[in-house]
Structure 1
Amino acid sequence: MPLNASAVSDVPAPTVPRWLHATRRVKAYVALMKPRVIELLLVTTLPAMVLAADGWPPVGLTILTLVGGFLSAGAANAFNSYIDRDIDAVMKRTRRRPLVTGEVTPRAALVFAWSVTIVSVLWFWVLVGSPLATLLTVLAILGYVVGYTMILKRRTAQNIVWGGIAGCMPALIGWAAVTESLAWEPFLLFLIVFFWTPPHYWPLSMKFKRDYAHAEVPMLPVVASTRRVAIEMIAYAVAMVVTSLILVPVGGMTWVYAAIALGSGAWFTWGCIALYRRSLHGDTSLKEMRLFRDSIVYLTLVFAAVLVDPFLPDVLTAWS
């Protein structure tokens, strides 16, 4: 016997368990912080702390600094998500972000960003106990939110170059948390990341060129030829490798670090050169994402070498 309309309307709608609803909300707020981006930033923090301490820094300080770095980077990313929600809505790559889907309202996202910012600053001031690291954290958040997101991103093709300075700050913050000072070594680590950022990010911009063009964001691959982008990538990659090698005499690094820095740097630079050569022949299979992933491998290798290098003299002596 068929059900009538009134009978159907009386069937209760399935209810979503509270715990599942809460889990989804937490995931949405975590997504605002872009944790996968933060992971890459923390790769540069711990090695800087180990180099500053010439060995393992206190475990408590290390954990507190890494958690504080996660919070401060997450706060900056949350502001970025709020400010760029109009761009995210028209780009295929970002259409599923929480502010676009409506999982988080703009007001709630802004309150969340400010809350995490305040917590992260107080975290460095009170728990890490480093006024210098606190100041650098504030500058990093301002640099990313105001400098990059609000001023540079929509106005200049060099947005990621100068806006990327904020992403270089974890090396300084990690060093400052240990020593409450700065030196040449953390500035060289800073510069490695600075020169690395354009050849790391521009391949991603090439892959999603149409998205950026549709959103009217003037990333260099949108407004310039692949040949020009590749030339600039090679220049930055060479500067990156040179800077990583300058760290050898300045930081007293071993030949192991020098070999890894030179070998991985040459490998990644060759990838940029290969991109240039393919562009000359009009090759449409530019393999941008492979180069993007290779850049992450390069940075991980170099900073892993920085991480283990303070322990190598004793190991090499024991082997000799």
Structure 2
Amino acid sequence: MNSNAARTEQPMKHNGNRVTVKDFIILAKPGIIISNSLAALGGFWIAWLQSERTGEGPGIFAAMTIAMIGTALVMASSTVFNNFFDRGMDAKMARTRTRASVTGKIPPPVMILYGACLGACGFIMLASLHVLTAVLGLLAFLLYAVVYTLWFKRQSVWAHLSAAFRGRLRP
């Protein structure tokens, strides 16, 4: 290894600030993940109670845990891609202009890799339960990361209505 390369190699930095685990957590928008996970948990619980084949013992709780973690990972992936696609818009707003995705603290290639890894892990977990579960996870990912982020938000004022339902509008 070249000694000059070893000397110049540094941890990923932007303006002297190191990228932290907290930056990656914030990039995945934990508030969205938690609120939607509660809804997913409620749906899983109701489906289990109404099922004719209600599971007994630890199997149902293992399936529920895998479903919840897989769903959270797919949601995290979609929010990371949302941050990636919205960098330009976020740079214009006071509330979002200091995000790590906007400032370059987390470079775009790292964001893409991070989002792809989260999504791959989530889809694998969901597919281990049932292929349809993974397909529905993929559909939800595409609806948020592509349809909402790349089209709806940019083309329609109605995107504010969906943001209001998520409690994201601020005066």
Q: CA deviation at 1:96?
A: 2.2
Match of 2:86 in 1: 84
Percent identity for Structure 1 against Structure 2: 25
Stretches of structure 2 lacking an aligned partner (at least 5 in a row): 1-10, 12-17
Q: CA deviation at 1:29?
A: 1.6
For residues 112 and 166 of structure 2, what CA distance do their matches in structure 1 show?
29
Whether contact under 8 Å (1:72, 1:120) holds in the other structure is yes
Q: CA deviation at 1:133?
A: 1.1
For residues 133 and 166 of structure 2, what CA distance do their matches in structure 1 show?
26
How high is the TM-score relative to the length of structure 1?
0.43
Stretches of structure 1 lacking an aligned partner (at least 5 in a row): 1-15, 17-22, 165-196, 208-320
Task: Calculate the aligned-residue CA RMSD, in Å.
Answer: 2.3
Deviations 1:233-259 (A, max 9, x none): xxxxxxxxxxxxxxxxxxxxxxxxxxx
For residues 102 and 159 of structure 1, what CA distance do their matches in structure 2 show?
26
The count of aligned residue pairs is 148
How high is the TM-score relative to the length of structure 2?
0.77
Name the structure where helix makes up a greater proportion of residues: 1
For residues 104 and 87 of structure 1, what CA distance do their matches in structure 2 show?
17
Match of 1:120 in 2: 122
Deviations 1:113-138 (A, max 9, x none): 12211221111112xx2111111000
Whether contact under 8 Å (1:25, 1:103) holds in the other structure is no
Deviations 1:48-68 (A, max 9, x none): 111111188621111111111
Q: Kindly indicate whether residue 27 of structure 2 is the aligned counterpart of residue 32 of structure 1.
A: yes
Match of 1:136 in 2: 136
Match of 1:108 among 110, 122, 137: 110
For residues 86 and 122 of structure 2, what CA distance do their matches in structure 1 show?
22
Runs (4+) of structure 1 exceeding 6 A deviation are none
Q: CA deviation at 1:198?
A: 4.2
Whether contact under 8 Å (1:121, 1:137) holds in the other structure is yes
Superposition pairs of residues 180-199 of structure 1, within 5 angstroms: 198-199=164-165
Larger Rg: 1
Q: 1:199 to 1:63 in 2, by over 3 A?
A: closer
Work out which structure has the larger RCO, using CA pairs closer than 8 Å and 6 or more positions apart in sequence: 2
